[in-house]
Amino acid sequence: MATIIQAKHHGNHDRHQRWARFERANLFTRYGELHTQGVSQRRAAQVLAVPRSTLQAWRAYHDRLDACPEMGAFFHSVPGLAFLHRLVIALHVVCVEIGACGIRLVCLVLELTGLNRFVGASYGTQQQVNRHVEDAIVAYRQEESARLSHAMPRKDITMTQDETWTGGLCLVGIEPVSNYIVIEQAAQARDHDTWQACMEPALAGLNCQVIQSTSDEAPGLLAYVEQHLRAHHSPDLFHVQHELSKAVAAPLAVRQRTAAKAVAQAEETLKRVHEHFDNANGEPAKRGPGRPRKVTPCLAQAAQDVAATHHEHQRLIGQRAQVTPRMRAVGHAYHFVDVERGVRRNGKLIAGDIPQHIDTIRTIAQQEGLSETCLERIAKAERVVPKTYIPPPVCCDPAHFF
């Protein structure tokens, strides 16, 4: 009795067994070879140790495929399945992880190419694939970092740090020369103790010393660099230029657009005055009672208004034309390489070139009578400029980090 129950249990287990795709492809290929040799399906099931009903289901599925027989045979073979697997993984790496175009476009590619006949193309199926891809990327990064850090030569590095808020607070630290992501970790806070708790284990296995940090002026980051890293802090360029843009470039752009509208209105008024003047000289008979309208003074005034609005518009264009190059010049001055001579620039020279451009921008803001808030933004951008800057080594190959 026990033997019968055990045999029935094994039968149910085989009946509900889920076959791995590569194993299934290999067995189905061997079944095709046996079938070609004239072996019956029952005998083939015994040789392959596969239930006959399973072979029948595989054969029925293969026959129902809406694809040419050669394509179906290829993608149900072991080499074809390996190629399909590699292709789907490549789509996720390139389109989702590198291109950031989303999982739905991967599903669309599978549908348009007809590969959805051989692989699940629904969003849920591909989302599971993407989760495994991301887990594999993280695992590979951890394994390679641990392996390469043992032979890593001693390095002094610059660390660029910031917080992102995609799906919650995330602390990010990148070595800018190699673009190596040292830390990308979710956190509950962004104070200096939290930064230390996250950065210390990330830097523990690396044979390097952080001698400089570049970031915004967040108090937690500044405190972390000063108290824990004990390194030099250099402000990032973006927030300097962003403050200058909000202080001067944006208000001048609004005034220029307003001046352009005033020019259009003045020209329209002048056009109407001209039309009225022409009608008055041509057919004055249809006028009502009263004195005739004095057209000539109106024409002169409209022409003066057009000239004045044109002058104001051109003046604002000239002011903006001075601000934009100065803001770009701040970026060139903050660069650690002189692009014209191809030589490295020291921190004192960098810190000394920037204030003159900010002074020009401030002078323009004062000439235009911009608000006190705008002048405060300029002062905010200028506060970080006197700090010196340590140029990192010139290298763009991520492999040079280790």
pLDDT digits (tens, 9 = 90+) for 108-134: 999 898 888 888 889 999 999 999 999
How much is the CA Rg of the chain, to the nearest whole Å?
A: 36
153-235: which CATH topology? Answer: Nucleotidyltransferase; domain 5 (3.30.420)
Q: 74 vs 5, which has greater pLDDT?
A: 74
* C-alpha span between 182 and 179 (Å, rounded): 9
H/E stretch holding 162 reads strand 155-164
What DSSP element (H or E) covers 127?
A: helix 123-149
Q: Is there a contact between 243 and 377 (Cβ–Cβ < 8 Å)?
A: yes
As a whole number, mean pLDDT of residues 222-229 equals 92
- Give the pLDDT band (50/70/90) at residue 402: low
pLDDT value of position 22: 67
Q: Which of 132-146, 290-304, 341-355 has the highest mean pLDDT?
A: 132-146
Q: How confident is the model at residue 5 (pLDDT cuts 50, 70, 90)?
A: very low
- Are the C-beta atoms of residues 212 and 391 closer than 8 Å to each other? no
pLDDT tens, residue by residue, 87-98: 999 999 999 999
- Tell me the C-alpha distance between 71 and 80, whole Å: 9
Token pair of 235 as six digits: 């402000």
Helices (H), ranges, 191-294: 192-204, 219-224, 237-244, 250-282
- At 194 the pLDDT is 94
pLDDT of residue 60: 72
To which H or E segment does residue 329 belong? helix 295-334
Q: What is the biggest distance separating any 2 CA atoms in the chain, rounded to whole angstroms? A: 126
Separation between Cα atoms, residue 272 and residue 294, nearest integer Å: 14
pLDDT band per the 50, 70, 90 thresholds, residue 198:
very high
d(CA 272, CA 283): 16
Residue 386 contacts residue 351 (beta carbons within 8 Å): yes
Mention the CATH class of domain 2-64.
mainly alpha
Q: Are 167 and 160 in contact (CB under 8 A)?
A: no
Sign of the dihedral defined by the CA atoms of residues 256, 259, 264, 270, in that order: negative
Residue 128 pLDDT? 94
Give the residue, 43 or 174, on which the prediction is more confident. Answer: 174
Q: Strands 232-235 and 208-215, how do they pair?
A: parallel
Position 285 pLDDT exceeds 70 = no
Least confident of 282-286, 344-348, 359-363: 282-286
288 φ, ψ to 5°?
-85, -175
pLDDT of 136 > 90? The answer is yes
Among residues 353, 240, 325, the alpha carbon closest in space to that of 345 is found at 353
Confidence of residue 105 (pLDDT cuts 50, 70, 90): very high
